[in-house]
Structure 1
Amino acid sequence: MTTTLGTASAEPGEIDTGRLEVGETRDGSPFGLPVAVINGDRPGKTLYMQAASDGDELNGLGVVRHAVPRLDPADIAGTILITGIVNYHAFQVAEHRNPIDDTKMNRTYPGNETGTSSERIAAATMDAATRADLVLDLHQGSTSRMLDEVRVRCGRRHRLYDECLELAKAFGCGYVLDQKGPDGQLARVGPDEGIPTVDPELGGAIGWDEASIRKGVAGVFNVLRYYDFLEGSVDLNRQTRANGFEQYGSPAGGLVDLHKELGDRVTRGETIFEITTPFGEPKATITADSDGILWRTRRLPQVATGEYVCSVGTDVDSY
């Protein structure tokens, strides 16, 4: 059966790319999101995958760019639908939020086809997502330094919680944030529609982070094999899971001296970072409020009073 997404159309055993039109630019020209359809040679499940919901989060697009050329429809059972760049306007200007309506795209799902720019894009991509059995919404930690992780955002009482947790484990980054997300996230809305959906957060970078991209590509292929799109077996390795975050800001202006590396364990009362003057004179010492793992840090060393420095994943276990 022919499968289409926007102008992309593929018969079984074919791949095609095209555009999913969602509106017009300020000069009245139509614009569309780059999309791909990979229609497997044999029937099976449908996976929907998207990237660059936030316009400066590029690692997910890097995953798509490397993964698609390696996918041969002759080897695939089922269908893969892909939106390569969701936040079209923000991507053009390398910004996080859609500059047309100053909105964070991943707070607008399920969208509104007659609403704002972001709501219309969300509605169009949500329509594609609801055609799938599984959804991967590829993100990264903006431009902060962050562990490669997968976020399960539906909450522990959700009827699809176990399925989402299994999908996160199949992706296999090694780290999982298991914390109910804000309203309007695709990883919140997808499970409400009966579709296991997770949010891989692939590191953080200005531009590409090749190590995180490689881990993301491996995660996509893990999912494809585990859910029988591709032949091959996948061992579900134990994942380190955090169930919460504690964020730390600076009590003073100056330069940050981190005492821990990403992924290091921290214990309550242990020094996480110090603030110094430009001459190395100590100004403040910040200790951990709880046991956990250093999960995310700012990239630049200079901070103002109250500015974000790092996050510690708390209530840590493995599953």
Structure 2
Amino acid sequence: MTTLGTASAAPGEVDTGRLTVGETRDGSPVGLPVAVVNGERDGKTLYMQAASDGNELNGVGVIREVFPQLDPAELAGEIRIVGIVNYHGFQIDSHRNPIDDTKLNRTYPGDHEGTSSERIAAATFDAARDADLILDLHQGSDSRMIHETRVRCGRRHRMHQRCLELAKVFGAGHILDQKGPDGQLARAGPDEGIPTIDPELGGTVGFDAESVAVGVEGVFNVLRHYEFIEGDTDLTPQTRASGFDQYGAPAGGLVDFAVDLGDRVKRGDTLFRVTDAFGQRKAEVTADSNGLFWRTRRLPQVATGEYVCSVGTDIDSY
């Protein structure tokens, strides 16, 4: 029997339900939407979640498309899903949990007696703790970003190669292989011996169909490769970066980019220019090193020092 919150499924069954993680200010229970798919045959366990950052919806879009396609009669093992992790942030389109003003994906493995975010992290991590694989679906918030998968445990971690393999299997096209901040699920999972990745499915407001499609294919790549379902996965080489150069605006105004997302850049290449409202140039910013144009802000207006773009560095093929 596979159980997650009120969802419970015997071999060959599927169920949905709610995972209680506290109460709202009027005393109503807070229940995260959850699902379990229990295959007819024995196999591995996959834990998958979305929207730990409450305004990152592409992962929710992936789960919405993947779940109806999961047939327990064709599945070996089990899949546990938390469809929306940051319940409070999701309700108001907020990246952070507004109850404690916290970025929830900095609170893993959580605390059952802690803040709202810590309690949600603890409850969801309990569901993941004995899994064989973890997918934590994200996007680059509402920035513009290439499709990538993040390996966050660090290159010296005992699980690094297995996390890197999982990222390659997911197949988003780009991998950021850089140790992440404390409290990320993609850090806490490997510490428990579980290969964990953080797919960043583009960046948008609402759903982006192309990014959702990349995520859906990525999930099914994982299901095939790790023998949850039958089929083969083509492990094609991907572009890997192990660092980031981030660029801010040297002056306030309007940004014009000189390169497109995914373009290779060389040190000294112009990345963007800042003009005033009349098109008069105020500043020009060039690349500090060779790399790949990875991420940009979405809106053109900037204040002095405000984030503008990022270049992935230390590029190779994996």
Separation in structure 2 between the aligned mates of residue 216 and residue 240 of structure 1, nearest angstrom: 17
Aligned length, in residue pairs:
318
Separation in structure 2 between the aligned mates of residue 157 and residue 89 of structure 1, nearest angstrom: 35
Residue 309 of structure 2: aligned partner = 310
Residue 250 of structure 1: aligned partner = 249
Q: Which runs of 5+ in 1 are unaligned?
A: none
Task: Give the superposition deviation at 1:131.
Answer: 2.2
1:138 paired to 2:125: no
Question: What secondary structure does 1:206 align onto?
Answer: coil
1:85 paired to 2:48: no
Give 1:90-239 correspondences, 5 Å limit.
Answer: 90-239=89-238
CA RMSD of aligned residues (A): 0.5
**Large movers: runs of 4+ above 2 Å:** none
Q: Which runs of 5+ in 2 are unaligned?
A: none
Counterpart amino acid of residue 125 in structure 2: M
Residue 7 of structure 2: aligned partner = 8
Give 1:51-70 correspondences, 5 Å limit.
Answer: 51-70=50-69
Separation in structure 1 between the aligned mates of residue 120 and residue 148 of structure 2, nearest angstrom: 26
Separation in structure 2 between the aligned mates of residue 3 and residue 283 of structure 1, nearest angstrom: 60
Question: What secondary structure does 1:137 align onto?
Answer: strand
Structure 1 residues 93-147: Cα deviation after superposition (integer angstroms, max 9, x where no partner): 1100000000000000000000000000000000011121000000000110001
Task: Give the superposition deviation at 1:310.
Answer: 0.3
Counterpart amino acid of residue 175 in structure 1: H
Identity %: 74
Q: What's the TM-score, normalizing by structure 1?
A: 0.99
Separation in structure 2 between the aligned mates of residue 156 and residue 248 of structure 1, nearest angstrom: 25
Separation in structure 2 between the aligned mates of residue 131 and residue 189 of structure 1, nearest angstrom: 12
Question: What secondary structure does 1:189 align onto?
Answer: helix
Question: What secondary structure does 1:123 align onto?
Answer: helix
Task: Give the superposition deviation at 1:279.
Answer: 1.2
Structure 1 residues 11-62: Cα deviation after superposition (integer angstroms, max 9, x where no partner): 1111100000011000001111000000011100000000000000000000
Counterpart amino acid of residue 83 in structure 1: V
Residue 260 of structure 2: aligned partner = 261
Question: What secondary structure does 2:193 align onto?
Answer: coil
Question: What secondary structure does 1:169 align onto?
Answer: helix
Separation in structure 1 between the aligned mates of residue 7 and residue 238 of structure 2, nearest angstrom: 36
Structure 1 residues 161-216: Cα deviation after superposition (integer angstroms, max 9, x where no partner): 00000000000001000000000000001000010000000000011111000000
Task: Give the superposition deviation at 1:69.
Answer: 0.6
Task: Give the superposition deviation at 1:233.
Answer: 0.6
Q: What's the TM-score, normalizing by structure 2?
A: 0.99
